[in-house]
Amino acid sequence: MLWLLMCDSADTVQGISVVTTTWNEAENIEELILRIRQTLKGVMHEIIVVDDSSQDGTLQIAERFADVAVGKEREGQTKGLLYGAKLAKFPVVVTVDSDLENPPELIPTLAAKLDIYDLVVASRNVVPRFSERWAAKTLGRICGVSDFYSNFRAYKKETFTSDLKRGETFGGELLVAAKKKGFRIGEVKYEAPPRRSKPRIGGSIKANLRITAATWKCFFAYLFSLD
């Protein structure tokens, strides 16, 4: 049974805020939103799209289908996810990639785990990049997950950090901050579809370099104060 965290207020509300960030995702964003709607049919929810200055009309499409669609200067995925989480009106926040590599049909399974955990990561059975595998064997072990850079996650809203200190870490700092604050982190394994030919993060060499740099930033975030 889908678990939904309830707010302690006279106007008790319950539901899920789904947050995604986009950059030139015009070909995917409508399908993603419609699949989320179908998955959460009968569940109170909202869909928030934070667009990172796309040039292909992504924001205009998102404005037609999402509950909240906002454009901002290009600052990267991590800041976009935090920005969207701060806009969320429900106490459960699910973050999902906009490229359709995260099956939104798994959202109820992630949310249901929040009766045990404060944050749940949907981990791919196979982590493809060597830089991601290194992060999984180091920071992933510290945080208790096998896919450190998966941003397909369900959060209790209070687990989000109030600010970011390390720049773009592809969502890594959000996980490290939750771990440092003592929140309970769990995971659900899933079979990921093939990665698209032109991922947002760049080609193989560029992606591995950027992820490696992000991992070192996350190490510093873990070892030293986030304040």
Question: Cα–Cα distance between 56 and 26 in angstroms, integer?
Answer: 6
Using the predicted structure, report yes or no on whether residue 32 has a pLDDT greater than 70: yes
Question: Cα–Cα distance between 192 and 126 in angstroms, integer?
Answer: 8
Using the predicted structure, report yes or no on whether residue 10 has a pLDDT greater than 70: no
Mind listing the pLDDT tens digit for each residue in 75-122? 999 999 999 999 999 999 999 999 999 999 999 999 999 999 999 999
Q: What pLDDT was estimated at residue 203?
A: 63
Separation in Å, CA 169 to CA 17, 173, 176, 215, 216: 22, 6, 10, 7, 9
Partners of 14 in beta bridges: 6
pLDDT tier for residue 204 given thresholds of 50, 70 and 90: confident
The mean of the pLDDT values for the chain is 90
- pLDDT higher for 51 or 10? 51
Domain boundaries in the chain?
16-223
The CATH superfamily holding the domain 16-223 is Spore Coat Polysaccharide Biosynthesis Protein SpsA; Chain A (3.90.550.10)
